[in-house]
Structure 1
Amino acid sequence: MIGIGIVALLAAAGCFWLAVRTQRRVHAMMAAETPGVPELLDRAAVATDLAGRPGTFRLVCEVVGTTAPAPVGLLRSELAGVECVWHAQKVERRYERRERDDEGRTRTRTYTETVSERASEHGWALLRDGHTVGVDHGGRRPEPVERVLDRFDPADDPGRGGDRTLGYRRQEWVLRPGVGMYVLGEVDDRDGPLVVRPPQDPTGTFVLSTRTESELTGRDRRAQRLWARGGAALAVLGLVLVVAGALS
């Protein structure tokens, strides 16, 4: 009983940690300013004049606009061939394995393993006020994005003995041009043109979403309340079990 109580207390700590992290994200979005692109360009020009050289401008803020191709042009997703500004894919193998338990009984179980998972390295641009700001996703995945492929291909030769391959599930997601996007990050001019990217401060908040700010803050507030209430319930349960176990 004490062991179960300790597990519940650890789970409560995890819930409280998630609640605090979610609350910080909400506060970061509410506190950040949302300058227009012309204002960002003006601020970058002032920073360049003051420093006597370009590449010194940095500002944590929100950037809102519609997605547009980077200078490399439109991309094409590898599996579905959809024109986009970003794409990702995942291939999973589904297979059967015959296993023997401790009592000598044999049964067949189905497993899934990831064969490959990758995303396009290039960023894209956000178009607003007739100007563009580059987006460096820093390896992050924008959310939510459109899934354009979800297909299961049965294996041509499942094989015999050992693992038996049933087939492969192929999924692909894309971010098309012209999609509204909200980004909270750090805008700088170190590459020349303005680019928004993950903050250099490791504790900074980076949000890359096709939802609006109000949708994001509303969702996060609901999640924060659920994590906090769940943590409180687990903490009470854990304490009761630990005390009951100690007294028994």
Structure 2
Amino acid sequence: MVIFGVLLVVAAGVGFYFMRRTRDQLHAMIGAETLPVDELERLRQISDELGARGGFRKQCEVVGAAYPRPEGLLVSEFSKTECVWHRHVVKRRFEERRYDSNGRPNRTRKTETVAEHTSWAGYALRDDRGVLIGVDPNGTAPDKPEQVVSRFEPYQRQQGPTVFGFQLPNIFDDSSTIGYEYEEWVIRPGQRLYVLGEVHDRIGPLVIGKPEQDGHFVISTRTEDQLRKSARTQHRLLAVGIPLAALAGIALIVLGAIG
């Protein structure tokens, strides 16, 4: 009872962290301007005229369609989809055998990540006026990308050697593995994107990416209105659930200590 109570209190603390993060991101979206790229170019030109060439910084939102970098499109690992960004994850499902105090075996199914990769290559965004701005994903996974692969492949057990016509078991085979789960996500060229971040000209052309200091960085296939609605819903649910979990956890800890 005490352990379960402690877990509830810890869960409430983790939930509080995510509630504050969700609130801060919502406030960042509300406070940021959605600017066309040519307006950002005008502001950068003013910055240059004031002697701050290469030092332009502006936190804002940019909306447009994904556009490939000058080097061309990327190709995803599993589905071979042409894209501007991709990510894949491989998970192993397996059985873990343990013995209880009476020596009886217990099998528990578990999952572990054995491989994952997120593309870091930059790409561009073409806004509604047809002007391009660079996007530096910096390894950040976008919100709600398109999933192009989701499959499970059972583990194929290898046969052992044949001796005098008899098939022997493979003693080196990993009998605990059940199979492998493959997932892959992409952003195709032309995908509508919402980006909240910091626009800079450190490398010359304007690029939007993760703020150098404080600030939020969001790349999403959803609109700003959809993101705001989702954030408000999540914040309300956490605001209700966190106090309940904390109170229940404290109650269980007290009852466990008394008992």
**Structure 1 and Structure 2 fold alike (TM over 0.5):** yes
Q: Unpaired segments of 5 or more residues in structure 1?
A: none
Task: Answer whether contact 1:98 1:162 (CA < 8 A) is retained.
Answer: no
Shift of 1:92: 2.0
Give 2:208's match in structure 1, choosing from 188, 196, 201: 196
Match runs of 1:35-50 below 5 Å: 35-50=35-50
Shift of 1:29: 0.2
1:103 corresponds to 2:72? no
1:79 corresponds to 2:91? no
Rate the CA distance shift 1:104–1:65 in 2: closer, same or farther, 3 A. Answer: same
Read off the aligned partner of 1:58 and give its amino acid letter.
Answer: R
Percentage of pairs with the same residue: 44
In 1, Cα distance between equivalents of 2:257 and 2:77: 59
Q: Report the secondary structure of 1:62's partner residue.
A: strand
Shift of 1:212: 0.4
Q: Report the secondary structure of 1:121's partner residue.
A: coil
Q: Unpaired segments of 5 or more residues in structure 2?
A: 159-169
Count of residue pairs the alignment pairs up? 246
1:149-184 Cα offsets, whole Å, 9 max, x none, are 122233333554774133322221111011111111
Task: Answer whether contact 1:98 1:163 (CA < 8 A) is retained.
Answer: no
Match runs of 1:1-248 below 5 Å: 5-51=5-51, 54-128=53-127, 129-158=129-158, 160=171, 163-164=174-175, 165-201=177-213, 203-241=214-252
Rate the CA distance shift 1:215–1:154 in 2: closer, same or farther, 3 A. Answer: same
Task: Answer whether contact 1:33 1:61 (CA < 8 A) is retained.
Answer: yes
Shift of 1:244: 5.5
Q: Report the secondary structure of 1:170's partner residue.
A: strand
Shift of 1:18: 2.1
Rate the CA distance shift 1:237–1:170 in 2: closer, same or farther, 3 A. Answer: closer
Read off the aligned partner of 1:193 and give its amino acid letter.
Answer: P
Shift of 1:242: 5.4
Rate the CA distance shift 1:45–1:15 in 2: closer, same or farther, 3 A. Answer: same
In 2, Cα distance between equivalents of 1:41 and 1:98: 62
Read off the aligned partner of 2:185 and give its amino acid letter.
Answer: W
1:7-29 Cα offsets, whole Å, 9 max, x none, are 44443333233222211111110
Shift of 1:49: 1.4
Counterpart of 2:166?
Answer: none
Task: Answer whether contact 1:95 1:163 (CA < 8 A) is retained.
Answer: no
Task: Answer whether contact 1:181 1:211 (CA < 8 A) is retained.
Answer: yes
After superposition, the CA RMSD in angstroms is 2.3
> Mean Cα displacement is larger for which, 81-90 or 146-155?
146-155
What is the TM-score of this pair, normalised by structure 2? 0.86
Task: Answer whether contact 1:16 1:231 (CA < 8 A) is retained.
Answer: yes
